[in-house]
Amino acid sequence: MAEHATYFADDKSRRIYLTKKIISQVFVYLFLTLFALFLIAPFVLMIVGSFVNAQSFYEFSTSGDFTKLGFANWGFSNYKQAFTGTTTNVVTGEVKAKTGTNFGVFFFNTAIVAVGSTTVTVVTAVLAAFAFARLQFKGKEALFALLLATMMIPGEMMVITNYMVVRAIKWQNTFAALILVHGVSVFYVFYLRQTFQQIPNELYLAAKVDGVGDLGYLWKVMIPIAMPTITTIIILSMMGAWNSYVWPDLVASRGWKYNKNHSMLLVSNGLRALFSQDTEGTQEAVKIAGSMVISIPLFVVFILFRKYIMRGVSRSGIKG
């Protein structure tokens, strides 16, 4: 307090200090506001573009006339076209209906792949993380170091070899190829191992004395304690499966192996297939509406479970 009183011994020094502080805060908030607008602007345009009819949005994109985005031109026609698989060329007026572009089927396929791959990923991550965190076996540290080293290999380098394996065992256009290729995540194993290591080893030793097996201890003790981290893994894994594009487009671009009339496309691939022949860019508004339909489930999941993600991330960084 003495230093504070001495620092502001005269009114001039106090005014200079307060002026500098106000100016610095103004610049900080101005920068943050501009940065936030820069990030939010694409999402705002995406929302607006999904409701503006295709003709008006095409005129806006070619002329830059913002009046074309007015409320008078809003409606749900873009969403209707995206779900029904029809496109209207705003230049020629030609209406096209493409077969195999049912968004309901795309959502069904994506839900199966997301749930299946997430289940397999969580099971393998929990078992592997438990083994590396609690069990004692020869070469454990070397094996774990080798496992972590694989994270340095870009995922794109594994696409060709994975595709060759899938083709060799005739899994093309099957759910197995879409689910099992993401069944193991080294990052999630490492991530969950860090949480498991924070649990006191005395609990494990006490459980062994009471005759509880390894799987029993894992199920009754470690999994409940690590549930925030496991919940985070579930959410991130499902979001990754929902957004996947390259691998499904490579191995499941046709009808189901056991029913050719059932399209195997996921939501991202289905949206791309719907507008694959739009060379003039006349269907941008309908594409945006389709993108909104794909993004809404992920946005809802993030809003509902964001606290679990934050809790899991913070917990994995705490040393017990």
Residue 27's pLDDT is: 93
Measured distance CA(7)–CA(93) in Å, rounded: 75
Global pTM value: 0.74
Measured distance CA(272)–CA(227) in Å, rounded: 37
Which of 55-60's residues contact partners 24+ apart within 8 Å by CB, and which partners? 55/90, 56/285, 57/284, 57/285, 57/288, 58/90, 58/91, 58/281, 58/282, 58/284, 58/285
Residue 126's pLDDT is: 93
- Given a cut of 80, whether residue 94 has pLDDT beyond it is no
Residue 319's pLDDT is: 45
Which has the closest alpha carbon to 179: 114, 253, 249? 114
pLDDT in tens, 5-45: 445 556 777 787 888 889 999 999 999 999 999 988 888 88
Higher model confidence: residue 170 or residue 281? 170
- Given a cut of 70, whether residue 281 has pLDDT beyond it is no
Residue 302's pLDDT is: 78
Spell out the alpha helix ranges (H) of the chain.
Answer: 2-7, 11-51, 54-63, 77-84, 103-133, 140-149, 159-168, 175-180, 186-197, 201-209, 214-217, 223-225, 227-243, 246-251, 267-274, 284-316
Residue 25's pLDDT is: 92
Residue 50's pLDDT is: 83
Q: Which SS3 state, helix, strand or coil, does residue 294 take?
A: helix
Mean model confidence pLDDT for the chain: 80
pLDDT band at residue 88, thresholds of 50, 70 and 90?
low
CB crowding 229-268: b at 16 or more within 10 Å, else e: bbbbbbbbbbbebbebeebbebbbeeeebeeeeebbbbbb
Which has the closest alpha carbon to 237: 174, 172, 192? 192
pLDDT in tens, 170-226: 888 888 888 888 788 889 999 899 888 888 888 888 888 888 888 888 888 888 888
- CA dihedral for 188, 192, 197, 203, sign (positive or negative): negative
Residue 116's pLDDT is: 92
* Residue with tokens 């399209």, as numbered in its chain: 263
259, HSE (Cβ side, Cα atoms, 13 Å) = 5
Residue 122's pLDDT is: 93
- Given a cut of 50, whether residue 318 has pLDDT beyond it is no
Residue 95's pLDDT is: 63
Higher model confidence: residue 277 or residue 115? 115
Higher model confidence: residue 166 or residue 253? 166
- How much is the CA Rg of the chain, to the nearest whole Å? 27
Residue 290's pLDDT is: 81
- Given a cut of 60, whether residue 145 has pLDDT beyond it is yes
Q: What is the average per-residue pLDDT within 69-83?
A: 79
- Given a cut of 50, whether residue 67 has pLDDT beyond it is yes
Measured distance CA(146)–CA(169) in Å, rounded: 27
**What domains can you pick out in the chain, each with its CATH number?**
2-97 (no CATH), 106-316 (1.10.3720.10)
pLDDT in tens, 106-120: 888 888 999 999 999
